[in-house]
């Protein structure tokens, strides 16, 4: 009696290995169009950060990846049980990504806004850092400014008093 070739254990194992190697090869040659990221937003009831899975278009450069991610964060959460970190009119003015550092300059709408958010500005900045550090493991430091000024430093505080 003749047996099917795949019923022999050594051939079945070889077929699985070949399939696995082929899958890895095809994945490396033709990567997926989208990149999976996890974003963290505060909850509606508590300011504790909770994660959401999102898929973003693949970008060619590190700077492009970080910029797309931050722009996506500014759009806000997709879950109704989460609240945004920044107002929708917040813009990226300058973004520079080096090997391990992100320099980010935001528009003044990040701080001065008519919209009411669930979290303070400091909490929003910390959540932004957490999001970037979690999704881009090579980033070790993040310098954030608001229209060229460090938040809560002397010139920033003077402008804050003028706005109020």
Residue 42: strand pairing partners: 49
pLDDT, tens digit, 9 for 90 and up, residues 128-162 = 999 999 999 999 999 999 998 888 777 655 555 56
Ranges of H-type helices in the chain: 9-29, 62-75, 121-135, 154-163
pLDDT, tens digit, 9 for 90 and up, residues 86-136 = 988 899 999 999 999 999 999 988 887 656 778 888 999 999 999 999 999
Query: Can you give the pTM of this predicted structure?
Result: 0.74
Radius of gyration of the chain from its Cα atoms, rounded to whole angstroms? 23
Order of strands, sheet of 141-146, starting from the edge strand that comes earlier in the sequence: 92-97, 101-106, 141-146
């Amino acid at each position: 009696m003749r047996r099917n070739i795949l019923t022999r254990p050594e051939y079945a194992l070889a077929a699985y290995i070949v399939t696995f190697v082929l899958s890895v090869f095809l994945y490396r040659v033709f990567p997926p169009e989208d990149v999976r990221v996890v974003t963290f937003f505060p909850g509606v009831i508590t300011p504790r950060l909770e994660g959401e899975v999102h898929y973003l278009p693949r970008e060619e450069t590190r700077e492009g990846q970080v910029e797309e991610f931050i722009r996506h964060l500014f759009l806000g959460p997709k879950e109704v049980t989460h609240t945004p970190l920044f107002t929708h009119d917040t813009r990226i003015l300058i973004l520079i990504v080096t090997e391990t550092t992100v320099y980010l300059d935001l528009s003044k709408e990040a701080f001065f806004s008519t919209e009411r958010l669930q979290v303070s500005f400091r909490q929003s900045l910390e959540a932004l850092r957490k999001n970037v550090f979690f999704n881009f493991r090579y980033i070790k430091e993040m310098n954030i400014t608001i229209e060229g000024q460090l938040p809560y430093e002397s010139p920033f505080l003077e402008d804050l008093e003028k706005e109020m």
